[in-house]
Structure 1
Amino acid sequence: MAVRHCLIRTSPGTVWAVLADGTRYADWVVGTSSSRPVRGHWPQKDAAIGYEVRIGPVGLTNETVVRRCEEGTLLELEAKAGWLGTARIAIELRPWGEDCLVIVDEHPLRGAGGLLHNVGTEAMIQLRHRAMLARLSRLCEAEARTGTRDTTDGRSARTSAGAPGGEHA
């Protein structure tokens, strides 16, 4: 089971604001090139976002569904990966003084991914989590510092409290 943690130097509210915006999924999830709402209101239970993974000229689309949400503290997702099956991804936020301790726990749930799961795939998931948490940390800390929404493509947009992607401390 791939469990990784990261201390993000901002409030849990700021981190939650990023997680709660389904359009920002591609900003911090490694391998995802875009994301969009599919159904429901993200991150409420059973809401889904569609995402695209680009491999050269080929784009693969799938979706991630919220299976459990405790606003501000816990988001459990089921990410679909076509013939590979699905994975359970739990993201827990814990206050840590003025900061936020983020704990990510991911493991295969259904399909070929579970059958093929081994030490090698576990190591790959750990590397992916390290990069993903670094991206999430960078986004959240920059947002807290400047009030600017940073994106992986170099664009930035001014945010305000209460707006999607804004700081909700």
Structure 2
Amino acid sequence: MSRNVRVLHCTPEDVFDVLGDGWLYPSWVVGASRMRDVDASWPARGAELHHSFGVWPALIDDKTVVEEYDPPRRMVMRARGWPVGEARVFLEVKERGGDCVVRIREEAVAGPGRFVPRALMDMLLHWRNDETLHRLAYLAEGRAAPSEYIVSRRRVVPERLNP
């Protein structure tokens, strides 16, 4: 099972704001290229995202289903990507000071992907999920409400605080 971790400079709620907007899925999930539909109940358990993956002209339509949703701590999804197969994706978020730690774990659960040697699959998924967390960070940190938070992270003192 592939495992990746990243510290995001935002709150767990900011991360779950992104996860809760199904239309953003292809913005942070590597390989997803467009959204076709999002269930009105997203991100409740059983809700589906109807997306495509790949690049034109080889786009494949499929879906992702929520198996567990416990904001702002945990989300589990079953992502379909046939003919490759299906994967269970675990996203866990923990607050750490003013930041948060996001962990993503992914395992093949159905289809041909299950038969790829584990070491090779983990290497490919690790690379992919590293970029996925990088993209999620851009979105969640960008939604972090006060701009002073971002300014303080860059070690820049706002003008109103300069003597």
- TM bucket normalised to smaller: 0.7 to 0.9
Shift of 1:124: 0.7
Task: Report if the CA contact (8 A) 1:40-1:46 is conserved.
Answer: no
SS at match of 2:139: helix
Partner of 1:80: 80
Partner of 1:154: none
Task: Report if the CA contact (8 A) 2:53-2:81 is conserved.
Answer: no
Extract unaligned runs of 5+ from structure 2.
148-163
SS at match of 1:109: strand
Partner of 1:17: 17
Partner of 1:26: 26
* AA in 2 matched with 1:23: W
Partner of 1:105: 105
Task: Report if the CA contact (8 A) 2:5-2:101 is conserved.
Answer: yes
> What is the TM-score with the length of structure 1 in the denominator?
0.81
CA displacement, residues 90-130 of structure 1 (integer Å, 9 cap, x when unaligned): 00111111111100010001121112242112101000011
1:44 aligns with 2:44: yes
Q: Name the CA distance, whole Å, in 1 between partners of 2:118 and 2:80.
A: 19
Q: How does 1:95-134 map to 2 (within 5 A)?
A: 95-134=95-134
Extract unaligned runs of 5+ from structure 1.
148-169
SS at match of 1:103: strand
* AA in 2 matched with 1:123: M
Shift of 1:55: 2.4
Shift of 1:40: 5.1
How many residues align? The count is: 147
Quick check: which has more Rg, 1 or 2?
2
Q: Name the CA distance, whole Å, in 1 between partners of 2:42 and 2:36.
A: 10
Q: Name the CA distance, whole Å, in 2 between partners of 1:95 and 1:36.
A: 33
Q: Name the CA distance, whole Å, in 2 between partners of 1:48 and 1:42.
A: 7
Return structure 1 stretches of 4+ with deviation > 6 angstroms. Answer: none
Q: Name the CA distance, whole Å, in 1 between partners of 2:13 and 2:19.
A: 10
SS at match of 1:131: helix
SS at match of 1:141: helix
Identity of aligned residues (%): 28
CA displacement, residues 51-73 of structure 1 (integer Å, 9 cap, x when unaligned): 11132422111100001111211
Shift of 1:76: 0.2
Once structures 1 and 2 are overlaid, which stretch shifts more, 1-10 or 138-147? 138-147
